[in-house]
Amino acid sequence: MLSRIRIATCFLAVIGSNLAVAGGVQAQEAAKPEWTYSGEQLRPFWLGEVMEGESVLFIKDEKSGEARASVLFPIRKVLSVRSSTGEVQFEEGRDYIWKAGSREIVVPPGSRITSSTPEALRRPAKSQPYQLTHRDGNGEIYFGGKLEYHELQTIISYSHAPGLWTSPVPKFDPKALPLTIDKLQKREPLKIVVLGDSISTGCNASGWADGKPFQPAYPELVSRILHERHKGRVEVANLSVGGMDSAWGLTMVEKVVEAEPDLVLLAFGMNDSGSRPAKDFQDKIAATVRGIQEKRPKAEFILVATMVGNPDWVALKQELFPQYRDALANQCGPGVALADVTSVWGEFLKLKKDWDQTGNGVNHPNDFGHRVYAQVISSLLIPSVEAVGEK
């Protein structure tokens, strides 16, 4: 079963090591179309009273012709509704309807907004390159290798009442990652090494897939956030490889050490979640941390608890995601912090559908999801008052 997870995760993944620098030399990759940095989009979504660029996928009712989708918070005012590329601004009344205090937005017949149906998001059994059997046994989940879901989704910005997010969020603690935070505050160069699976390689961010708006994946977003805030040089060496798990991560200790990191992001779990017990996962992550610390004693760590994969995919054992999160939390202490994307994503799935923020239909985030990853991680390194734009 694990192999099926790896195949889908590895499809079109970026293999090998990537180097990106914020505030320093140019990235070694070939130049790509520029993404416009947006501090508002990268502000932690749980802060303030405006949600910037939340993604939804409208589902049409064939009888009425209307399509509907829900956002995370009850709406005070819709600020904009745009295509996922950002190129089309839709019109209230003509393209969408909403009611104050509701989380639902309605797309009337004749709207220019893209919509789909649950049936269109399935495929017949064994008709796709990878078998993504739906949990109800009725065919397979539609797999999007690049921008297929991105093109079906719509981007909503809206205002809402403050303080509505009550699930766990990361908290800035200067004692948790003291060496990293000291470097940032002194504007000293910071070297981050990312070790993870295809989520960390960048799948299915629009920039990774060479599509508008060309947003980078979360590792580069983190470096941009830190540079914009502190103005120091932040270098990211991404050693992630699609399809890999915590067992493979343990074999990469020497490669991580060779990169001379100040801060290591360990981001596994999705490819472990087909079968690996939480205790084994915990042991492998702990051994990886120890192995790096032995040769790089001043390195600090952020352990990233993965997003939750599509609950409708039979290959994923959903109970393992919170167990992995707790296994990572057990290892936290001075120099080791938890970036808990699992809890955030689990709450998303209580309020919305997986297709609203998926990048590939099963186990990758879209642009919005990559921004959430970056928001969770950067919140461990920047006080919340600074994260909302105060300097």
d(CA 332, CA 76): 39
CA dist list (Å): 318 to 173, 190, 321, 369: 30, 36, 6, 19
Q: Tell me the Cα Rg of the chain.
A: 20
d(CA 278, CA 317): 11
d(CA 241, CA 18): 10
Reading phi first (left if > 0) and then psi (alpha if -120 to 50, else beta), residue 65 is in left
d(CA 9, CA 6): 5
Does the 2-45+167-387 domain belong in CATH 3.40.50.2300?
A: no
What single-letter amino acid sits at 140?
E
What single-letter amino acid sits at 192?
I
Asked whether 6 and 274 are in contact (CB, 8 A), the reply is no
Asked whether 311 and 354 are in contact (CB, 8 A), the reply is yes
Whether this prediction's pTM lies above 0.85 is answered by: yes
Kindly list the domain boundaries of the chain, sorted by start residue: 2-45+167-387, 50-159
Beta bridge mates, 123: 140
Question: pLDDT value at position 15?
Answer: 35
Instruction: For tokens 């960048």, name the residue.
Output: 202
Question: pLDDT value at position 29?
Answer: 52
Instruction: Return the DSSP state at 143.
Output: P
Question: pLDDT value at position 26?
Answer: 40
Question: pLDDT value at position 19?
Answer: 57
Asked whether 256 and 238 are in contact (CB, 8 A), the reply is no
CA dist list (Å): 206 to 17, 33, 150, 296, 371: 19, 11, 8, 35, 12
Question: pLDDT value at position 8?
Answer: 46
Question: pLDDT value at position 364?
Answer: 98
Question: pLDDT value at position 34?
Answer: 87
Mapped onto helix, strand or coil, the DSSP state of residue 306 is coil
Q: Give me the average pLDDT of each 10-residue run along the chain (391 residues).
A: 46 44 51 86 96 98 95 98 98 98 98 97 96 97 98 98 95 96 97 98 98 98 96 97 98 98 98 97 98 98 98 98 98 98 98 98 98 98 66 39
Question: pLDDT value at position 305?
Answer: 98
Beta bridge mates, 156: 54, 81
Q: Which residues have CB under 8 Å from 78's CB, separation 6+?
A: 92, 96, 98, 105, 156, 157, 158
Q: Which residues have CB under 8 Å from 202's CB, separation 6+?
A: 14, 208, 216, 217, 219, 370
